Amino acid sequence: MSDSYDVVVIGGGPAGYPCAIRAAQLGLSVACIDGWLNRDGSHAFGGTCLNAGCIPSKALLESSELYHRTQHEFATHGINVGKASFDLAQMQKRKNDISGQLTGGIRTLFKANGVEGLEGTGSLAGNGKVRFQPLKGEARELTAKHIVVATGSSPVELKKVAPFDGDRVCDSWDALDFDKVPKKLGIIGAGVIGVELGSVWSRLGSEVTILEALPEFLPAVDAQVSKDALRQFGKQGLDIKLGAKVTGAKVLKSKVTVTYEQKDESHTLDVDKLIVAVGRGPNTQGLGAEEAGLKLDERGFVVVDEHYRTNLDNVYAVGDVIGGQMLAHKGIEEGVVLAEQLAGHKGAAVNYNAVPCVIYTSPEIAWVGLSEKQAKEAGYEVKVGQAPFAANGRAKALEMTSGLVRVVSDAATDRILGVHMSGPYVSELLAEAVLALEYGATTEDVALTMHSHPTLSETFHEAILSVDGLAIHAVNKKRSK
């Protein structure tokens, strides 16, 4: 085991471990330090995403949706299964098994690429040194030509309003590990995490109320798409209260009493469990940032330049800990780009104007680029097209016809500025839109591209055609002359 490396990465999540792997692929000696511990005390690489976020939540979303479809859709297909039931313990086991397989895969990748994975914590010790504290054993000092901070983020706690207690008032990780379905579930925050967790437990029988302080639902999403999604969630039983500011949460023996204000009126809500899903904050505790003189912004995020350099020589940072969109794929790209820079390659910059965003509810919600409102605020004269999944043959066959696709283009250049969708498997459809933005495609470019029939992708094609009033299978909006 060496004490000297070309690169030491502190953090083994979606930004850290790809950075380590890519740097090793380019011939650098690399160590990746990570101290994640699961509930059973076992160590795992992969950070929040693989252990307590993206992957386990998608596993539960899939299981709960299959149960929901069994109850409400199978008979339409002529499939009779009798009274459906579910085994929550088996759902949780499957979820944990999937996470375990993927986190174990990181160890395999480290070995294959020559990365030394170190279980423990790392902190900045100055002058190109990192203090490594193993989970077991004595601390030791590592030296590195380059140090990468990729320590990720954690759920924000409302300490004065609804502090976590790990039982009644929960964070997003707690909410993935319930051993029984809450009869009444409250959620603070109607963002990605809030609506995904709400969907899981609602499908399994919870009466779910989501309290969102903002007056708009998913303001980053095109207004027509978010409006349609909100309507679909309401039909599914999710009670999403907008403009509802939570003022307190009192934990009692068998319930939590939540107080909130909405439209200048005070309300109370009694729930069995309360999930706080109001965002995530940077993990810089224990990093030695203050002692080393590492510059943080007013919210605690590490300050970096366009090349991910901090104010300290040869210290860099990527992923959630530098802020911006807290998405695993954004962190992956930053980590890979940085590794290539450290190896002396020019490398490609991350295009922050083409970052895909997805919410894995049903219908799914996905978007990239500007909404119509954002484009107009940026000074563009826009032209917009849209098409519904209700007219799509594949969507009808799937019994998933809710949702629509909207395309926003620059009227002057025809270049696509943004694509926003809700509907079946739009998480997969979005890749074409991301590619279009990455290549600076025009609506005409995509309009002239053949899409196979019958597929869901035809709805994206129809929305593209609709931008110029050329849709074949969707009604074109009349345009003023």
Q: Is 471 exposed, middle or buried (CB count within 10 Å of its CB: 0-12, 13-18, 19+)? A: buried
Assign 3-state DSSP to the chain and report helix, strand, coil percentages, each to 5.
Answer: 35, 25, 40
Token pair belonging to 29: 């000696």
**How is residue 134 written in tokens?**
């193993």
Q: Which two tokens stand for residue 74?
A: 């199978």
Active site residue 453: yes
- Tally helices (H) and strands (E) across the chain: 14, 21
Count Cβ neighbours within 10 Å for each residue of 324-338 and write b for 16 or more, e otherwise. Answer: eebbbbbbbbbbbbb
- SS3 sequence of 398-441: HCCCCCEEEEEEECCCCEEEEEEEEECCHHHHHHHHHHHHHCCC
CA within 13 Å, CB half, 294: 32
Which one of the listed residues 43, 77, 453, 461 is annotated catalytic?
453
Strands (E) across 277-397 are located at 280-282, 315-317, 357-359, 364-369, 382-388
Are 276 and 170 in contact, with CB atoms under 8 Å apart?
A: yes
Peptide bond into 454 cis (omega under 30): yes
Q: If you compute the radius of gyration of the chain from its CA atoms, what whole number of angstroms results?
A: 24
Q: In which residue are the tokens 């303001």 written?
A: 219
Question: 386 vs 225, 407, 448, 458, 476, CA distance in Å?
Answer: 10, 6, 17, 12, 9
| Residue linked to tokens 């639902």 | 217
Residues with a known catalytic role = 453
